[in-house]
Amino acid sequence: MIIHMNAKLIGIGTTLVILAIVVAVVFVPHATFEAAHRPSDDYRPLTTLEMQGRKLYLKNGCNNCHTQYIRAVDWGLGAERLAQAGDYFGQTPPMLGSIRTGPDLSQVGGEHTDDWHAAHFHNPRYPRPESIMPNFGFFSPAELRASIAYMQSLGFRAADARVRRQLAWREKAMAAYAAGIDQNIRWLHDLVPQGWRDVPNPYPATEVSLGRGATIYQRWCLGCHGPVGDGQGPAAAFLYPPPLNFTTLARHADSSGGLLYYQIMNGITGTAMPYLKRELESEKIWDVSNYLAQYFIGNNDANLEPKGIDAAYEPAAKEP
Ligand code: HEC
Ligand code: HEC
Protein backbone atom coordinates (compact mmCIF):
# COMPACT_ATOMS: atom_id res chain seq x y z
CA MET A 1 0.00 0.00 0.00
CA ILE A 2 1.30 3.40 -0.91
CA ILE A 3 0.57 6.15 1.60
CA HIS A 4 0.40 9.54 0.00
CA MET A 5 1.46 12.35 2.26
CA ASN A 6 -1.06 15.10 2.61
CA ALA A 7 -1.71 17.84 5.14
CA LYS A 8 -4.18 15.74 7.13
CA LEU A 9 -1.81 12.81 7.49
CA ILE A 10 1.12 14.98 8.47
CA GLY A 11 -1.11 16.69 11.04
CA ILE A 12 -2.26 13.40 12.57
CA GLY A 13 1.27 11.98 12.51
CA THR A 14 2.81 15.00 14.25
CA THR A 15 0.08 15.01 16.89
CA LEU A 16 0.69 11.32 17.62
CA VAL A 17 4.44 11.85 17.95
CA ILE A 18 3.94 14.80 20.30
CA LEU A 19 1.38 12.83 22.35
CA ALA A 20 3.79 9.92 22.66
CA ILE A 21 6.53 12.25 23.91
CA VAL A 22 4.20 13.91 26.44
CA VAL A 23 3.08 10.50 27.74
CA ALA A 24 6.69 9.34 28.04
CA VAL A 25 8.18 12.41 29.71
CA VAL A 26 5.21 13.76 31.69
CA PHE A 27 2.55 11.19 32.51
CA VAL A 28 4.70 8.08 32.96
CA PRO A 29 7.12 9.74 35.42
CA HIS A 30 4.24 11.46 37.21
CA ALA A 31 2.47 8.13 37.71
CA THR A 32 5.59 6.20 38.72
CA PHE A 33 7.68 8.78 40.62
CA GLU A 34 6.55 7.72 44.02
CA ALA A 35 8.77 10.02 46.06
CA ALA A 36 6.91 13.10 44.87
CA HIS A 37 3.71 11.70 46.33
CA ARG A 38 5.22 10.89 49.68
CA PRO A 39 6.33 13.49 52.22
CA SER A 40 9.97 13.24 53.34
CA ASP A 41 10.78 12.23 56.93
CA ASP A 42 11.37 15.82 57.91
CA TYR A 43 8.22 17.16 56.33
CA ARG A 44 5.32 18.58 58.27
CA PRO A 45 2.38 20.60 56.90
CA LEU A 46 2.54 24.37 57.30
CA THR A 47 0.24 26.12 59.76
CA THR A 48 -2.25 28.75 58.56
CA LEU A 49 0.08 31.55 59.68
CA GLU A 50 3.06 29.96 57.93
CA MET A 51 0.96 29.56 54.76
CA GLN A 52 0.19 33.29 54.89
CA GLY A 53 3.91 33.94 55.11
CA ARG A 54 4.48 31.68 52.13
CA LYS A 55 1.98 33.71 50.08
CA LEU A 56 3.83 36.91 51.02
CA TYR A 57 7.09 35.24 49.99
CA LEU A 58 5.65 34.56 46.55
CA LYS A 59 3.94 37.94 46.27
CA ASN A 60 7.09 39.88 47.15
CA GLY A 61 9.32 37.96 44.80
CA CYS A 62 11.60 36.61 47.52
CA ASN A 63 12.12 33.56 45.31
CA ASN A 64 13.85 35.80 42.75
CA CYS A 65 16.80 36.12 45.10
CA HIS A 66 16.52 33.05 47.34
CA THR A 67 16.47 29.33 46.56
CA GLN A 68 15.01 26.57 48.70
CA TYR A 69 17.09 23.55 47.84
CA ILE A 70 20.45 22.24 48.96
CA ARG A 71 22.57 20.00 46.76
CA ALA A 72 25.63 17.96 47.59
CA VAL A 73 27.89 20.70 46.16
CA ASP A 74 26.40 23.38 48.40
CA TRP A 75 28.45 24.23 51.43
CA GLY A 76 27.23 26.52 54.14
CA LEU A 77 23.68 27.07 55.22
CA GLY A 78 22.00 23.75 55.90
CA ALA A 79 24.35 21.65 53.78
CA GLU A 80 23.89 18.85 56.30
CA ARG A 81 20.48 18.19 54.83
CA LEU A 82 20.18 17.74 51.05
CA ALA A 83 16.83 18.59 49.45
CA GLN A 84 14.53 15.63 48.80
CA ALA A 85 11.53 15.44 46.48
CA GLY A 86 9.25 14.78 49.45
CA ASP A 87 10.20 18.14 51.01
CA TYR A 88 7.99 19.82 48.45
CA PHE A 89 4.99 17.62 49.16
CA GLY A 90 1.72 19.38 48.33
CA GLN A 91 3.41 22.71 47.54
CA THR A 92 2.21 24.54 44.46
CA PRO A 93 4.28 26.13 43.20
CA PRO A 94 7.40 24.73 44.94
CA MET A 95 9.69 27.66 45.86
CA LEU A 96 12.80 26.16 44.32
CA GLY A 97 14.07 29.40 42.82
CA SER A 98 17.10 29.44 40.56
CA ILE A 99 19.09 32.51 41.59
CA ARG A 100 21.07 32.95 44.76
CA THR A 101 21.51 36.67 45.08
CA GLY A 102 20.79 35.93 48.73
CA PRO A 103 21.53 32.67 50.57
CA ASP A 104 19.51 29.48 50.25
CA LEU A 105 16.70 29.52 52.81
CA SER A 106 15.60 25.88 52.89
CA GLN A 107 17.07 25.40 56.39
CA VAL A 108 16.90 28.93 57.75
CA GLY A 109 14.27 28.02 60.38
CA GLY A 110 15.72 28.47 63.87
CA GLU A 111 18.98 29.95 62.56
CA HIS A 112 18.01 33.37 63.86
CA THR A 113 15.67 34.55 66.60
CA ASP A 114 12.34 36.22 65.78
CA ASP A 115 13.67 39.61 66.88
CA TRP A 116 16.62 39.28 64.49
CA HIS A 117 14.13 38.65 61.66
CA ALA A 118 12.01 41.64 62.71
CA ALA A 119 15.05 43.93 62.48
CA HIS A 120 16.18 42.27 59.25
CA PHE A 121 12.81 42.61 57.50
CA HIS A 122 12.51 46.22 58.61
CA ASN A 123 15.89 47.03 57.11
CA PRO A 124 18.34 44.23 56.28
CA ARG A 125 21.22 46.69 56.76
CA TYR A 126 20.43 46.97 60.47
CA PRO A 127 21.67 43.50 61.44
CA ARG A 128 23.79 43.06 58.24
CA PRO A 129 25.29 46.44 57.32
CA GLU A 130 26.34 45.42 53.80
CA SER A 131 23.18 43.61 52.75
CA ILE A 132 21.66 44.33 49.34
CA MET A 133 18.27 42.83 50.25
CA PRO A 134 15.41 45.35 49.90
CA ASN A 135 13.57 46.71 52.96
CA PHE A 136 10.29 45.11 53.92
CA GLY A 137 9.47 47.75 56.50
CA PHE A 138 6.13 48.21 54.75
CA PHE A 139 4.88 44.86 56.10
CA SER A 140 1.93 45.33 58.46
CA PRO A 141 2.45 43.79 61.92
CA ALA A 142 0.31 40.81 60.81
CA GLU A 143 2.37 40.36 57.63
CA LEU A 144 5.59 40.59 59.60
CA ARG A 145 4.38 37.90 62.01
CA ALA A 146 3.39 35.63 59.12
CA SER A 147 6.71 36.15 57.29
CA ILE A 148 8.73 35.41 60.41
CA ALA A 149 6.63 32.30 61.11
CA TYR A 150 7.28 31.10 57.55
CA MET A 151 11.03 31.72 57.84
CA GLN A 152 11.12 29.77 61.11
CA SER A 153 9.26 26.86 59.47
CA LEU A 154 11.83 26.38 56.70
CA GLY A 155 13.55 23.09 57.40
CA PHE A 156 10.36 21.51 58.83
CA ARG A 157 11.00 19.25 61.83
CA ALA A 158 14.71 20.02 61.95
CA ALA A 159 13.82 23.72 62.03
CA ASP A 160 11.26 23.11 64.78
CA ALA A 161 13.97 21.54 66.91
CA ARG A 162 16.25 24.55 66.36
CA VAL A 163 13.42 26.98 67.14
CA ARG A 164 12.65 25.12 70.39
CA ARG A 165 16.31 25.37 71.34
CA GLN A 166 16.41 29.11 70.58
CA LEU A 167 13.29 29.67 72.70
CA ALA A 168 14.65 27.70 75.65
CA TRP A 169 17.90 29.73 75.60
CA ARG A 170 16.00 32.93 75.04
CA GLU A 171 14.23 32.55 78.41
CA LYS A 172 17.62 32.21 80.12
CA ALA A 173 19.11 35.16 78.20
CA MET A 174 16.14 37.36 79.09
CA ALA A 175 16.31 36.39 82.75
CA ALA A 176 20.06 37.12 82.81
CA TYR A 177 19.52 40.50 81.16
CA ALA A 178 16.72 41.38 83.58
CA ALA A 179 19.02 40.56 86.52
CA GLY A 180 21.32 43.50 85.74
CA ILE A 181 24.28 44.49 83.54
CA ASP A 182 27.03 42.77 85.48
CA GLN A 183 24.99 39.65 86.22
CA ASN A 184 24.26 39.42 82.51
CA ILE A 185 27.94 39.63 81.64
CA ARG A 186 28.78 36.98 84.25
CA TRP A 187 26.12 34.75 82.72
CA LEU A 188 27.49 35.32 79.22
CA HIS A 189 31.03 34.57 80.36
CA ASP A 190 30.03 31.43 82.22
CA LEU A 191 28.76 30.05 78.90
CA VAL A 192 32.33 29.98 77.60
CA PRO A 193 34.31 26.82 78.45
CA GLN A 194 37.35 27.49 80.63
CA GLY A 195 39.74 26.11 78.01
CA TRP A 196 38.71 28.85 75.62
CA ARG A 197 39.00 31.63 78.16
CA ASP A 198 42.63 30.76 78.76
CA VAL A 199 43.55 31.20 75.11
CA PRO A 200 45.34 34.50 74.59
CA ASN A 201 44.96 36.31 71.29
CA PRO A 202 47.70 34.82 69.09
CA TYR A 203 47.91 37.83 66.74
CA PRO A 204 49.67 41.05 67.58
CA ALA A 205 47.51 44.16 67.73
CA THR A 206 49.34 45.87 64.90
CA GLU A 207 47.92 48.95 63.26
CA VAL A 208 46.98 46.86 60.24
CA SER A 209 45.24 44.22 62.37
CA LEU A 210 43.27 46.94 64.15
CA GLY A 211 42.43 48.53 60.79
CA ARG A 212 41.14 45.21 59.48
CA GLY A 213 39.22 44.79 62.74
CA ALA A 214 37.58 48.18 62.19
CA THR A 215 36.49 47.19 58.68
CA ILE A 216 35.08 43.87 59.87
CA TYR A 217 33.29 45.66 62.69
CA GLN A 218 31.66 48.08 60.23
CA ARG A 219 30.62 45.27 57.92
CA TRP A 220 29.22 42.85 60.47
CA CYS A 221 28.72 44.34 63.92
CA LEU A 222 28.01 48.07 63.80
CA GLY A 223 24.28 47.75 63.00
CA CYS A 224 23.70 46.15 66.41
CA HIS A 225 26.60 47.09 68.69
CA GLY A 226 26.75 50.67 67.34
CA PRO A 227 29.60 52.80 65.98
CA VAL A 228 31.07 53.38 69.44
CA GLY A 229 30.37 49.89 70.81
CA ASP A 230 27.67 51.00 73.24
CA GLY A 231 25.03 48.63 71.83
CA GLN A 232 23.06 51.49 70.27
CA GLY A 233 23.11 50.45 66.60
CA PRO A 234 19.92 50.95 64.58
CA ALA A 235 18.88 47.29 65.06
CA ALA A 236 18.88 47.72 68.85
CA ALA A 237 15.32 49.08 68.85
CA PHE A 238 14.09 45.67 67.65
CA LEU A 239 16.14 43.41 69.89
CA TYR A 240 15.62 41.96 73.35
CA PRO A 241 17.96 41.26 75.03
CA PRO A 242 19.58 44.26 73.31
CA PRO A 243 23.09 44.16 71.78
CA LEU A 244 25.79 44.20 74.40
CA ASN A 245 27.34 47.51 75.41
CA PHE A 246 31.04 46.57 75.10
CA THR A 247 32.19 49.41 77.31
CA THR A 248 30.60 47.64 80.31
CA LEU A 249 32.99 44.73 79.68
CA ALA A 250 35.85 46.88 80.97
CA ARG A 251 34.62 46.04 84.49
CA HIS A 252 35.26 42.35 83.86
CA ALA A 253 38.93 41.52 83.66
CA ASP A 254 38.38 38.26 81.76
CA SER A 255 36.84 40.07 78.75
CA SER A 256 39.47 39.35 76.14
CA GLY A 257 41.26 36.74 74.04
CA GLY A 258 39.59 33.37 73.63
CA LEU A 259 36.45 34.47 75.43
CA LEU A 260 35.62 37.08 72.80
CA TYR A 261 36.71 34.70 70.05
CA TYR A 262 34.38 31.97 71.30
CA GLN A 263 31.37 34.31 71.55
CA ILE A 264 31.93 35.79 68.08
CA MET A 265 32.53 32.39 66.49
CA ASN A 266 29.47 30.70 68.01
CA GLY A 267 27.07 33.56 68.64
CA ILE A 268 24.73 33.48 71.61
CA THR A 269 21.85 31.06 71.14
CA GLY A 270 18.48 32.54 72.04
CA THR A 271 19.59 36.11 71.29
CA ALA A 272 20.05 38.05 68.05
CA MET A 273 23.85 37.69 68.37
CA PRO A 274 24.65 35.60 65.26
CA TYR A 275 27.45 33.06 64.93
CA LEU A 276 30.08 34.31 62.54
CA LYS A 277 32.16 31.19 61.95
CA ARG A 278 30.63 30.89 58.48
CA GLU A 279 31.39 34.46 57.42
CA LEU A 280 34.71 35.18 59.15
CA GLU A 281 37.84 33.05 59.03
CA SER A 282 39.82 32.55 62.20
CA GLU A 283 42.22 35.47 61.70
CA LYS A 284 39.36 37.85 60.97
CA ILE A 285 37.68 36.89 64.23
CA TRP A 286 40.92 37.60 66.09
CA ASP A 287 41.27 40.94 64.25
CA VAL A 288 37.81 42.07 65.25
CA SER A 289 38.39 40.83 68.84
CA ASN A 290 41.57 42.93 68.89
CA TYR A 291 39.54 45.91 67.77
CA LEU A 292 36.89 45.43 70.48
CA ALA A 293 39.48 44.80 73.14
CA GLN A 294 41.58 47.81 72.20
CA TYR A 295 38.97 50.49 71.56
CA PHE A 296 35.84 49.54 73.50
CA ILE A 297 37.04 47.43 76.40
CA GLY A 298 40.53 48.82 76.94
CA ASN A 299 41.86 45.39 77.79
CA ASN A 300 43.85 43.80 74.99
CA ASP A 301 45.88 40.69 75.76
CA ALA A 302 47.05 40.29 72.15
CA ASN A 303 50.40 38.60 71.80
CA LEU A 304 52.97 41.13 70.81
CA GLU A 305 55.44 38.38 69.87
CA PRO A 306 53.69 36.15 67.33
CA LYS A 307 54.72 32.48 67.11
CA GLY A 308 55.05 31.88 63.39
CA ILE A 309 56.38 35.00 61.71
CA ASP A 310 54.92 35.08 58.22
CA ALA A 311 55.21 37.49 55.32
CA ALA A 312 52.47 39.64 56.83
CA TYR A 313 54.47 40.24 60.00
CA GLU A 314 55.17 43.77 61.08
CA PRO A 315 56.14 45.16 64.45
CA ALA A 316 53.30 45.80 66.89
CA ALA A 317 51.72 49.23 67.01
CA LYS A 318 52.59 49.46 70.70
CA GLU A 319 55.80 47.70 71.74
CA PRO A 320 55.60 46.26 75.27
C1 HEC B 1 17.24 41.58 45.67
C2 HEC B 1 17.40 40.28 46.26
C3 HEC B 1 16.62 39.90 47.50
C4 HEC B 1 15.25 39.85 47.68
C5 HEC B 1 14.16 40.28 46.73
C6 HEC B 1 15.04 39.27 48.99
N7 HEC B 1 16.25 38.98 49.58
FE8 HEC B 1 16.52 38.07 51.36
N9 HEC B 1 18.55 38.30 51.18
C10 HEC B 1 19.19 38.84 50.09
C11 HEC B 1 20.62 38.91 50.37
C12 HEC B 1 21.68 39.45 49.44
C13 HEC B 1 20.81 38.38 51.67
C14 HEC B 1 22.13 38.24 52.44
C15 HEC B 1 22.40 39.47 53.29
C16 HEC B 1 21.42 39.64 54.42
O17 HEC B 1 21.36 38.80 55.33
O18 HEC B 1 20.63 40.61 54.41
C19 HEC B 1 19.49 38.00 52.14
C20 HEC B 1 19.23 37.41 53.38
C21 HEC B 1 18.00 36.94 53.79
C22 HEC B 1 17.78 36.21 55.01
C23 HEC B 1 18.85 35.83 56.03
C24 HEC B 1 19.45 34.50 55.69
C25 HEC B 1 20.53 34.07 56.64
O26 HEC B 1 20.96 32.95 56.51
O27 HEC B 1 20.96 34.81 57.50
C28 HEC B 1 16.44 35.94 55.07
C29 HEC B 1 15.71 35.18 56.17
C30 HEC B 1 15.83 36.51 53.89
N31 HEC B 1 16.81 37.10 53.14
C32 HEC B 1 14.47 36.44 53.60
C33 HEC B 1 13.89 37.11 52.53
C34 HEC B 1 12.46 37.19 52.32
C35 HEC B 1 11.42 36.51 53.18
C36 HEC B 1 12.27 37.96 51.21
C37 HEC B 1 10.96 38.41 50.62
C38 HEC B 1 10.00 39.03 51.53
C39 HEC B 1 13.59 38.32 50.70
N40 HEC B 1 14.53 37.79 51.54
C41 HEC B 1 13.80 39.06 49.55
C42 HEC B 1 18.60 39.24 48.91
C43 HEC B 1 17.24 39.35 48.70
C1 HEC C 1 21.91 41.25 65.11
C2 HEC C 1 22.59 41.93 66.16
C3 HEC C 1 24.03 41.60 66.45
C4 HEC C 1 25.09 41.60 65.56
C5 HEC C 1 25.06 41.83 64.06
C6 HEC C 1 26.26 41.33 66.34
N7 HEC C 1 25.92 41.16 67.65
FE8 HEC C 1 27.20 40.76 69.16
N9 HEC C 1 25.63 40.62 70.47
C10 HEC C 1 24.32 40.89 70.15
C11 HEC C 1 23.52 40.70 71.32
C12 HEC C 1 22.01 40.86 71.38
C13 HEC C 1 24.40 40.33 72.37
C14 HEC C 1 24.12 40.16 73.85
C15 HEC C 1 23.18 39.07 74.24
C16 HEC C 1 22.86 39.12 75.70
O17 HEC C 1 23.09 40.12 76.40
O18 HEC C 1 22.35 38.09 76.14
C19 HEC C 1 25.73 40.28 71.78
C20 HEC C 1 26.88 39.91 72.48
C21 HEC C 1 28.15 39.91 71.94
C22 HEC C 1 29.35 39.47 72.63
C23 HEC C 1 29.41 38.84 74.01
C24 HEC C 1 30.35 39.50 74.92
C25 HEC C 1 30.65 38.71 76.16
O26 HEC C 1 31.33 39.29 76.98
O27 HEC C 1 30.22 37.56 76.32
C28 HEC C 1 30.41 39.70 71.79
C29 HEC C 1 31.89 39.45 72.02
C30 HEC C 1 29.86 40.24 70.56
N31 HEC C 1 28.48 40.35 70.68
C32 HEC C 1 30.62 40.60 69.47
C33 HEC C 1 30.09 40.87 68.22
C34 HEC C 1 30.90 41.10 67.05
C35 HEC C 1 32.41 41.15 67.02
C36 HEC C 1 30.03 41.25 66.02
C37 HEC C 1 30.38 41.45 64.58
C38 HEC C 1 31.34 40.55 64.00
C39 HEC C 1 28.68 41.15 66.56
N40 HEC C 1 28.77 40.93 67.90
C41 HEC C 1 27.52 41.26 65.81
C42 HEC C 1 23.83 41.25 68.92
C43 HEC C 1 24.57 41.33 67.75
What are 105-122's pLDDT values in tens digits?
999 999 999 999 999 999
Question: What is the model's pLDDT at position 123?
Answer: 98
Residue 196 and residue 304: Cα distance in Å, rounded? 19
Residues 195, 149, single domain; the answer is no
Ligand nearest to the CA of 132: 1
* Cis-peptide into 241, omega within 30 deg: yes
Asked whether residue 156 is assigned to any structural domain, the reply reads yes
Atom of ligand 2 nearest to the CA of 276: 38
Question: What is the model's pLDDT at position 304?
Answer: 63
CATH number for the domain that contains residue 93: 1.10.760.10
Asked whether residue 87 is assigned to any structural domain, the reply reads yes
Choose the final residue of a domain: 121, 136, 162: 162
Residue 225 and residue 245: Cα distance in Å, rounded? 7
Residue type present at position 245: N
What is the residue range of 158's domain? 48-162
Asked whether residue 91 is assigned to any structural domain, the reply reads yes
Residue 242 and residue 235: Cα distance in Å, rounded? 9
How many helices, marked H, and strands, marked E, lie in the chain? 12, 0
Q: How far is the CA of 177 from the centre of ligand 2 (A)?
A: 13
Residue 269 C-alpha from the chain's centroid: 13
Asked whether residue 118 is assigned to any structural domain, the reply reads yes
Question: What is the model's pLDDT at position 307?
Answer: 64
pLDDT lower than 70: segments of the chain: 33-36, 303-310, 312-320
- Ligand 2 atom 23 nearest Cα: 263
What is the number of structural domains in the chain? 2
Residue 25 and residue 9: Cα distance in Å, rounded? 24
Asked whether residue 174 is assigned to any structural domain, the reply reads no
- Kindly report the pTM of this predicted structure: 0.90
Residues 140, 61, single domain; the answer is yes
Atom of ligand 1 nearest to the CA of 56: 38
